[in-house]
């Protein structure tokens, strides 16, 4: 069994105060509730893909920013991010060091989060 490596504050490039917000989100339900409570980022200044620290500061996000926030939380808990291959550019934001790329079907996606 491979030991999970949890992301530290420094790994995520966050300040102590920013990381303290993440530490309070200690269950999947709390993470989801935090994301649901964010206001929508309508990108008034054009396309954006803001990092977690900006989402924490401004308390708004759009879909990819919310997904990146959730990915940071997965890393904090030592879980891999599981994603399918895509043509939209999402792969650019992920590293093979913490992401599992799999085929776009349920049989390929479901078993991965249980890996240790």
Identify which has the larger pLDDT, 114 or 116: 114
Number of DSSP helices (H) and strands (E) in the chain, helices first: 6, 4
Would you state the structure tokens that stand for residue 41, as one six-digit string?
């980022």
List, in sequence order, the alpha helices (H) in 5-113.
Answer: 9-12, 16-24, 28-37, 52-58, 63-76, 106-109
Residues forming a β-bridge with 55: none
Q: Where residue 3 falls among pLDDT bands split at 50, 70, 90?
A: low
Identify which has the larger pLDDT, 54 or 95: 54
Summarize pLDDT for 46-72 with one digit per residue, the tens. 888 888 999 999 999 998 899 889 888
Q: Please say whether the beta carbons of 84 and 104 come within 8 A.
A: yes
pLDDT at 4 over 50: yes
Per-domain boundaries in the chain:
1-79, 80-116
Identify which has the larger pLDDT, 54 or 108: 54
């Amino acid at each position: 069994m491979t030991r999970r490596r949890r992301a530290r504050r420094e790994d995520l490039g966050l300040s102590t105060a920013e990381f303290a917000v993440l530490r309070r989100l200690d269950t999947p339900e709390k993470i989801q509730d935090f994301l649901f409570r964010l206001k929508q980022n309508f990108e008034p200044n054009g396309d954006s893909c803001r990092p977690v620290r900006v989402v924490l500061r401004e308390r708004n996000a759009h879909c990819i920013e919310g997904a990146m926030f959730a990915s940071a939380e997965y890393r904090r808990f030592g879980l891999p991010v599981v994603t399918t291959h895509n043509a939209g550019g999402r792969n650019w934001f992920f590293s093979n060091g913490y992401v599992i790329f799999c085929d776009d079907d349920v049989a390929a996606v479901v078993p991965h989060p249980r890996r240790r």
